[in-house]
A and B are shown apart, each in its own frame.
Chain A
Amino acid sequence: MIGATTPAPTLIDGVPAVVSSRFGVEGGHTIDGYRSTGSYKGYEAIRKALDMGPSAVAATVKDATVLGRGGAGFPAGIKWGFTPAGVWPRYIVVNGDESEPGTYKDRVLMERDPHQIIEGCLIAAYAIGAAQVFLYVRGEMAHAQERIAAALNEAYAAGLVGRNILGTNFSVDIVLHWGAGAYIVGEETALIESLEGNRGMPRLKPPFFPAAKGLYLKPTVVNNIETLSNLPWLFNNSVDAYRAIGTDASPGTRLVAVSGHVNNPGVFEIPQGTTTFRELFESPIYGNGIRTGHQLKMFIPGGGSAPWFFPEHVDLPLEGRVIGGEGSMLGSGAIVVMDETTDAVRAALRLARFFARESCGKCTPCREGTTWQEKILQRILDGHGRPSDIDLLLDVGDNISPGPYPVASDAAKGLDAIPYPPKQTTICPLGPSSVAPITSAIRRFRDEFDAKIVKRNLIPVSVESFEDAPTLAESTDHGADTHV
Chain B
Amino acid sequence: MSRLTPENVELAKQIIRRYPRPKSALIPLCHLAQEQDGHLADDAMVHIGELVGVTSAEVLGTASFYEMFKRHEVGKYCVNICTNISCQLMGGEELLEHAEQTLGIRSGSTTNDGLFTLEDVECIAACTEAPALQVNYRYFHRISNDDFDQMIDELRSGRLDDVVPPHGVLAKVRQDLAEEQIANITPPETQVMPRWIADEAAKNDPAASEGGQA
Contact = CB atoms under 8 A, between A and B. Distances in A.
Given A101-B85, A104-B126, A357-B122, A53 B186 contact: no
Contact of B181 (A101, A162, A354): A162
B117 interface: no
Given A103-B127, A145-B171, A182 B210 contact: no
A347 B66 contact: no
A265 B62 contact: no
Contact of B200 (A55, A140, A173): A55
B11 interface: no
Contacts of B191: 87-89
Contacts of B176: 149, 153, 156
Interface string A297-308: 000100010000
A367 to B, nearest CB: 14
B213 A140 contact: no
Interface in B149-200: 169-177, 181-188, 190-197, 199-200
A197 B122 contact: no
A89 B192 contact: yes
B69 interface: yes
A150 B175 CA distance: 7
Q: Is the interface of B mostly helix, strand, loop or mixed?
A: loop
A103 B125 contact: yes
B77 interface: no
Contact of A81 (B26, B31, B214): B214
Contacts, number: 269
Given A175-B175, A181-B67, A132 B184 contact: yes
Contacts of A196: 21, 23-24
A259 B186 contact: no
Contacts of B130: 259-260, 265
Contact of B210 (A80, A85, A258, A338): A85
Chain B: interface size category: 35 or more
A150 B172 CA distance: 10
A415 interface: no
A197 B27 contact: yes
A266 interface: yes
A342 B27 CA distance: 39
A106 B193 CA distance: 32
A438 interface: no
B125 A180 contact: no
Contacts of B30: 180
Contacts of A338: 89
A67 to B, nearest CB: 17
A249 interface: no
Nearest to B197: A129
B27 A128 contact: no
Interface in A335-365: 336, 338, 342, 346-347, 350-351, 354, 357-358, 360
A197 B25 contact: yes
A390 interface: no
Interface in A295-333: 300, 304
B98 interface: no
30 contacts: A54-B197, A55-B212, A56-B214, A80-B212, A89-B186, A100-B123, A101-B122, A126-B196, A140-B134, A149-B174, A156-B181, A162-B181, A171-B183, A173-B182, A175-B177, A179-B66, A180-B63, A180-B66, A196-B24, A197-B21, A197-B24, A200-B65, A259-B130, A260-B90, A265-B128, A266-B128, A304-B85, A304-B123, A350-B88, A354-B122
The 8 closest A-B pairs by CB, nearest first: A180-B66, A197-B26, A145-B171, A216-B188, A58-B214, A131-B186, A197-B23, A181-B68
Interface of B: 18-21, 23-28, 30-31, 52, 54, 61-63, 65-69, 80, 83-86, 88-90, 122-130, 134, 136-139, 169-177, 181-188, 190-197, 199-200, 209-214
Given A55-B212, A183-B122, A197-B52, 4 more contacts: A55-B211, A132-B185, A152-B175, A163-B181
